[in-house]
Structure 1
Amino acid sequence: MTIPAASFRHLAPGNLADALCQARNYTLALFERFQAMGLDDPARVPRLSTLNPPLWELGHLAWFAEWYLLRDAKTSAPDSALRHSLLTKGDDWFDSNTVSHRTRWTLGLPSAGALKTYCHEVLDRSLDKLSRTESTDAALYPFRLVLAHEDMHGEALLATLRTLGGELSPAVPLQPTAAWAQGEIRFPGGSFQLGSAAGSGFIFDNEKWAHATHVAAFSMDSTLVSHAQFSEFIDDGGYQKPRYWTEAGRDWLMQQERSAPLDWVRDGRQWRCTRFGETLMLPLQQPVRHVSLYAAQAYCEWAGRRLPTEAEWELAACSGHPAFRWGDLWEWTCSPFLPYPGFSADGYREYSAPWFDTHQVVRGASFATPARFRSVRFRNFFLPQRDDVFIGFRTCAR
């Protein structure tokens, strides 16, 4: 069982200040990796729908903090900020709600040095304001939101580094994923409270509110599907047999011309994988990563299993069962991303609402997720075709 460290959702001002500094230092360390590759220039960054130019990301993270902390914006509406940005064209460059993704390569952004100075200035002023903020959930909400935002983007930047073939450095360490014994756990099911309850510190809007949910008895893998298990699916022609794939999955497969997960490389009769610029033997007992929802569904169909619902996953994670292992990779569920009953958007209005119905619920965390961010209640969400992120899956009995 994975036991998260102190959650950002409850951090008091002093610890919150330390966490904000740590998150910003991590962002800057990652950015230095891109600089070493010459990718601080947006013109040299591939135009992929799954990433942003690192220079834009750097400015956006500082701008987001400035918007909610220094400009006292209560919502993400363009006219809600009470003050002007420290940057003359800050809103024109870095507001993700008004600056379309395709334009982020051609904005004429400030230099990397100027944006680093902006990052430091925003952080220093934010910490000063935090030192004068009362220690209540309501008063600390925007600071915790900014921390969560930077932690999420930090993981996305690490995924971008992998996508672009970048190498790690001592300033950006990576803990190896341990191999865990496979097994299956039987859960009796029953009613439980799905979602977050009031008074739980910081809560994302899509977790509101906790509500009674009934789950029938089920069996679930204690750990994620491994490379060895997924290799059996491939060796049995899993990628060549349409009957295992949904219609959407077959369409995706034809477009990708994929015969294995994203980071697998054929070496004779064996497989290797590429990770952060390094090619290594496939670690058979570690969980398979970089699989789309479609590939996870196909494996389940081949194995006579299914993906868990998000309610089953949360019940299992909350059960305290010592054999239930989570946190190595994000995990696909079979649940579409939908609002809980009575949903209403919080101040960051675009965080959840635009993605309902089109995205799939993802649960857990990954090796790249800060310990303070991990929560059994957190609802992540991705498009079904995403396999560039640090994601895997586990199965349930049909």
Structure 2
Amino acid sequence: MVSFIEKWSAQVHEARARSLELIADLKAEELQVPYLPTVNLFLWEVCHLAHFFDFWVLRQGRDCAGRGGLEGRVDQLFDSTCIEHEHRWRLDVPGREECLDYVLGVRDRVLELIEKGVEDPGLRYLIEYSVYHEDMHAEALSYTRQALGYCLPQLGVARHTPAAAAPVVGDAYFEGGVLELGAVRDSGFCFDNEKWAHPVEVAPFCMAKSAVSEGEWQEFVEDDGYGRRDLWSTAGWAWVQAVQAEQPLYWRRSKGGHLERRHFDAWSAIDPDRVMVHIAWFEAEAFACWAGRRLPTEAEWEFAAGDWAGAPAAFDWCAGGPVDTNAFSESATPEGCRQMMGNVWEWTSSTFVPYKGFEADMYADFSQSSFHTRKVLRGGSWATRSRLMRPSLRNFYQPSRRDIFAGLRTCALKA
């Protein structure tokens, strides 16, 4: 059995290496990100990751060495809980070399702390939390590169392109029943918004066996889906008009009138079988209406996902981007639903709310500042770390966000 020291030394080292890989090839001018309300400056973000370990692990572990120089200012520069997003562009963030000295120095001190032995369960939890926090930001660094049109980063990841499989069509039927929604006590790490499993009655439902593809979305676009008021909620239609959406983000029409899609810096023709990605909740809701269907609730989604235990899926950058909706047939659920885990986050109809008895973890702003204002996504994406994933994991974003690696799967209106 792998010891705590072996496991978490390796994971701390690997998580930091992945974060740095995601910015390693960027030139000085590429690090100067223009202000966008959905992303962070690259150097600020990796320093924030180091600060998170610094604040929650090193200081809790009583390592307060080296507080001079940059380290004497890190709380004022990189603490996301007290630095408003827009203000980060006005901070005096040091250059690449000084930032990397801090980032690598914190990593090394965390590794030294772990090597000495960590017996306190609370500190062990903080180490694990900090690794997963870094994993989530690695995905954010990925979609920041996508937003800016930078090239696909070359990561030290074993690439695996799944074999082609026969198309899957139609719905899977679920009889419903009582679902223990959320994380089960003593089942391992979970975030505060997953606590704790509680019984929820789920009525019978039918869910699509695959996520929506680019080909299906193209039909929606060509049928004037973005111009038909009857398909959109009041809030959704206001959003369409505000952003003047006529097609998905990162889509365009070629000079010949054909739809194309951008993946990082490369434009390609629409692939009918590739999973649809970069969709806002408002768009997902309108598409479902156009298709005569609906989005699943998060309880239905978790019911359908079942007990995923690490079966092959599109995680960890294994294919360098989203894959076909037909892929990974070997890890379909017993009912035939493919890729419930991985490839793209899937929007649900559910608003992000606390489960009964919710209590915030030590990082209080992680969940509670977002309750009642965001929609729940489930399942993870191709850029999500598989070690982070479990069926109870809840992601949450504003319904207007479409820069993230999000798609959708629909349900029939009646079972």
Whether TM exceeds 0.5 here: the answer is: yes
The DSSP-based 3-state class of the residue aligned with 1:214 is: strand
The DSSP-based 3-state class of the residue aligned with 2:382 is: coil
Contact 1:37–1:166 (CA<8 Å) still a contact in 2?
no
Contact 1:133–1:140 (CA<8 Å) still a contact in 2?
no
Q: In the alignment, which residue of structure 2 is the partner of 1:121?
A: 105
Q: Which amino acid aligns with 1:201?
A: G
Alpha-carbon distance, 1:138 to partner: 4.0
Q: Which amino acid aligns with 1:219?
A: C
Contact 2:344–2:407 (CA<8 Å) still a contact in 1?
yes
Q: In the alignment, which residue of structure 2 is the partner of 1:78?
A: none
Structure 2 CA distance for partners of 1:11 and 1:45, relative to 1, 3 Å: farther
Superposed, which structure 2 residues align to 1:111-150 within 5 Å? 111-134=95-118, 138-150=122-134
Q: In the alignment, which residue of structure 1 is the partner of 2:390?
A: 375
Distance in 1, matches of 2:86 and 2:380, equals 29
Alpha-carbon distance, 1:183 to partner: 3.2
Structure 2 CA distance for partners of 1:172 and 1:279, relative to 1, 3 Å: farther
One of 40, 51, 59 as aligned partner of 1:52: 40
Comparing 136-145 with 153-162, which one deviates more in the overlay? 136-145
Distance in 1, matches of 2:249 and 2:180, equals 36
The DSSP-based 3-state class of the residue aligned with 2:196 is: coil
Superposed, which structure 2 residues align to 1:275-290 within 5 Å? 275-290=263-278
- Tell me if 1:160 matches 2:173: no
Alpha-carbon distance, 1:13 to partner: 3.1
Distance in 1, matches of 2:28 and 2:407, equals 28
Distance in 2, matches of 1:32 and 1:146, equals 21
Distance in 1, matches of 2:367 and 2:88, equals 22
Distance in 2, matches of 1:38 and 1:132, equals 41
Q: Which amino acid aligns with 2:29?
A: G
Superposed, which structure 2 residues align to 1:88-237 within 5 Å? 88-134=72-118, 138-171=122-155, 181-237=168-224
The DSSP-based 3-state class of the residue aligned with 1:350 is: helix
> Structure 2-normalised TM-score?
0.87
Q: In the alignment, which residue of structure 1 is the partner of 2:330?
A: none
Comparing 123-132 with 205-214, which one deviates more in the overlay? 123-132
Comparing 327-336 with 269-278, which one deviates more in the overlay? 269-278
Q: Which amino acid aligns with 1:153?
A: H
Q: Which amino acid aligns with 1:384?
A: P
Alpha-carbon distance, 1:287 to partner: 1.1
With a CA cutoff of 8 Å and minimum separation of 6, indicate the structure with the bigger relative contact order. 1
Distance in 1, matches of 2:37 and 2:184, equals 35
Per-residue Cα deviation, 1:147-187 (whole angstroms, up to 9, x for no partner): 01100000000000010111123326676688753331000
Q: Which amino acid aligns with 2:295?
A: L
Q: In the alignment, which residue of structure 2 is the partner of 1:23?
A: 15
Distance in 1, matches of 2:208 and 2:67, equals 50
Q: Which amino acid aligns with 1:381?
A: F
Contact 2:173–2:335 (CA<8 Å) still a contact in 1?
no
Distance in 1, matches of 2:356 and 2:154, equals 45
Alpha-carbon distance, 1:73 to partner: 8.0
- Tell me if 1:345 matches 2:333: no
Distance in 1, matches of 2:110 and 2:229, equals 54
Alpha-carbon distance, 1:109 to partner: 1.1
One of 321, 338, 344 as aligned partner of 2:334: 321
Distance in 2, matches of 1:199 and 1:357, equals 28
The DSSP-based 3-state class of the residue aligned with 2:90 is: coil
Distance in 1, matches of 2:251 and 2:83, equals 35
Structure 2 CA distance for partners of 1:182 and 1:113, relative to 1, 3 Å: farther
The DSSP-based 3-state class of the residue aligned with 1:192 is: strand
Distance in 1, matches of 2:64 and 2:183, equals 31
Contact 2:192–2:358 (CA<8 Å) still a contact in 1?
yes
Contact 2:192–2:359 (CA<8 Å) still a contact in 1?
yes
Q: In the alignment, which residue of structure 2 is the partner of 1:394?
A: 409
- Tell me if 1:385 matches 2:400: yes
Q: In the alignment, which residue of structure 1 is the partner of 2:53?
A: 65
May I ask how many residue pairs the two structures share in their alignment? 379
- Tell me if 1:332 matches 2:320: no
Q: Which amino acid aligns with 2:11?
A: A
One of 258, 263, 271 as aligned partner of 2:245: 258
The DSSP-based 3-state class of the residue aligned with 2:260 is: strand
Contact 1:66–1:85 (CA<8 Å) still a contact in 2?
no
Per-residue Cα deviation, 1:1-20 (whole angstroms, up to 9, x for no partner): xxxxxxxxx98331222111
Q: Which amino acid aligns with 1:25?
A: A
Per-residue Cα deviation, 1:262-311 (whole angstroms, up to 9, x for no partner): 01111224211111101111121011111111111111111110000000
Per-residue Cα deviation, 1:178-218 (whole angstroms, up to 9, x for no partner): 87533310000000210011111212000001101110000
One of 261, 266, 281 as aligned partner of 1:273: 261
> Structure 1-normalised TM-score?
0.90
Structure 2 CA distance for partners of 1:123 and 1:278, relative to 1, 3 Å: same
Per-residue Cα deviation, 1:306-336 (whole angstroms, up to 9, x for no partner): 0000000001001642622221100100000
- Tell me if 1:39 matches 2:39: no
- Sequence identity of aligned pairs in percent? 37
Contact 1:223–1:394 (CA<8 Å) still a contact in 2?
yes
Structure 2 CA distance for partners of 1:352 and 1:109, relative to 1, 3 Å: same
List gaps (5 residues or longer) in structure 2: 308-332
Distance in 2, matches of 1:290 and 1:54, equals 21
Structure 2 CA distance for partners of 1:282 and 1:358, relative to 1, 3 Å: same
